[in-house]
Structure 1
């Protein structure tokens, strides 16, 4: 018989042997996933609870997958973002806590329409629409597989949104109060230094544009004014060393009230600006 205590200790030991960061936390998440309970409920279960054979096998498979540095979200198929659960697959970026800084900044002012460029899982667009009743939104992505994930998340969350396949503004018509994007921004030379979870399992198309990592910002900043209502805002997520360069693109495109905003760790994470026309 395998008890909860033994299963957890075994999982932690296997993950630590594979040099997986946060092994104890990941073991708890995978154990809760296999048992179909939340982390809070798992903590309340008696240590001597006996797992079934099927549960033991499922946990072993999950731990083995994590030991190869497969992301936890790809094993469970879910990731929490701004308090909501989003479906995640290898076709989309894993929603990250630092991206919530963009959500917080976007919600500081009202908006009734939002455009999300490179929507991926839809976590940014759908969160903003869920938080602003009555707002409408469009998510654009170059990947049809990513849009399938975004549509699935919209349905599961009960959020109405539109999605279009294409590169940046190519499929977009009309104007919006708010344009948001978490574009690929990792420089080509930085890819080798990424964690195996990111480098080996997340879509490179969503990670890097090549070169200096700034190409997406050049395009977005230059073209966004044509798609913004008077006084509309543009907010983009950035890498922590890119604030000055991206703010410069905002200024060159005629944006006002340009700000570089930090994440919860104090690193530059979002650049925002407003456009009032010429």
Structure 2
């Protein structure tokens, strides 16, 4: 039998030797997941022996992480906007950078609420459903639809909807092909990585996250062109279209929204100072006397 400390050191060493960049952090997070210990309780219990069952489970998880399987795919847990999401190999792992998109949409929604009825939100390429469910966790009166081409991704989104107790509609659709009705807000974090770049991504992303959720075709802009060109038919006058973008795509996506007739277009940076979000407003209908 080994102590918590001995197993933690063993896990860290295994991950270091496998070239895992955050070996110390990941070895601890898996220990925390298996035992439920906080950092404080670990220092009290570090010299206690770990049960055989927990030790075997810990070693197995360390072995999988050493194969560069993402930590979140091993624990099936990812935190986003203060909410715990189930994730697996069928969806992109929610990333903190995407919270900028949620914040900016909430800012716009706040402007729209004055005198408005219940708002409707469409999340295109919804994946795990994290963006839509984060928005609905705040906009409690809003109705939400999450669309994706992947049935496996939609199953994950529906599971998250149930477990978080936040109702939404999940719809299989190739972009707008099976979408009906109009919306106050359309939001999307579409695939935006250039095809030739996907194979150079870190192993955890390249080999373990769904390629269809990463690959934005040759120039990375295919989905922005399609969505910005078609979204106007599904947006109410004055409605918002908001995208997450890659760091080098702000100018291109801004021009797409301009060409599609959107106004009040903004490019927003993330905490690292990189372009992260582009959003614009559909023109209000003109009233002719």
Q: Deviations over 1:84-137 (max 9, x none)?
A: 100001000010111111011111132621100000000000110011111100
The worse-fitting range, judged by mean Cα deviation, of 82-91 and 268-277 is: 268-277
What is residue 274 of structure 1 aligned with on the other side?
A: 281
How many residues are matched?
277
How far apart are 1:41 and its partner, in Å? 5.9
How far apart are 1:193 and its partner, in Å? 1.4
1:99-248 map, 5 Å: 99-110=98-109, 112-248=119-255
Specify the SS of the correspondent of 1:107: helix
Q: What is the alpha-carbon distance in structure 1 between the residues aligned to residue 30 and residue 253 of structure 2?
A: 39
How far apart are 1:49 and its partner, in Å? 2.3
What is residue 27 of structure 1 aligned with on the other side?
A: 27
How far apart are 1:40 and its partner, in Å? 4.8
How far apart are 1:223 and its partner, in Å? 0.7
Q: What is the alpha-carbon distance in structure 2 between the residues aligned to residue 84 and residue 145 of structure 1?
A: 21
Specify the SS of the correspondent of 1:7: helix
Q: What is the alpha-carbon distance in structure 2 between the residues aligned to residue 86 and residue 38 of structure 1?
A: 20
Q: What is the alpha-carbon distance in structure 1 between the residues aligned to residue 255 and residue 188 of structure 2?
A: 17
| TM-score, with length taken from structure 1 | 0.97
How far apart are 1:171 and its partner, in Å? 1.3
| TM-score, with length taken from structure 2 | 0.93
Instruction: Say whether the 8 Å CA contact 2:126–2:147 is kept in structure 1.
Output: yes
Instruction: Say whether the 8 Å CA contact 1:28–1:39 is kept in structure 2.
Output: no
The worse-fitting range, judged by mean Cα deviation, of 71-80 and 47-56 is: 47-56
Q: Deviations over 1:133-169 (max 9, x none)?
A: 1110000000001000000000000001001101111
Specify the SS of the correspondent of 1:229: strand
What is residue 116 of structure 2 aligned with on the other side?
A: none
Instruction: Say whether the 8 Å CA contact 1:225–1:277 is kept in structure 2.
Output: no
Unaligned runs of 5+ in 2: 114-118
Q: What is the alpha-carbon distance in structure 2 between the residues aligned to residue 45 and residue 99 of structure 1?
A: 37
What is residue 13 of structure 1 aligned with on the other side?
A: 13
What is residue 89 of structure 2 aligned with on the other side?
A: 90
What is residue 55 of structure 1 aligned with on the other side?
A: 54
Instruction: Say whether the 8 Å CA contact 2:108–2:240 is kept in structure 1.
Output: no
Unaligned runs of 5+ in 1: none
Q: What is the alpha-carbon distance in structure 2 between the residues aligned to residue 236 and residue 26 of structure 1?
A: 31
Cα pair distance change 1:49/1:16, threshold 3 Å: same
Q: What is the alpha-carbon distance in structure 2 between the residues aligned to residue 248 and residue 41 of structure 1?
A: 52
Specify the SS of the correspondent of 2:24: helix
Instruction: Say whether the 8 Å CA contact 1:2–1:50 is kept in structure 2.
Output: yes
Q: What is the alpha-carbon distance in structure 2 between the residues aligned to residue 87 and residue 233 of structure 1?
A: 28
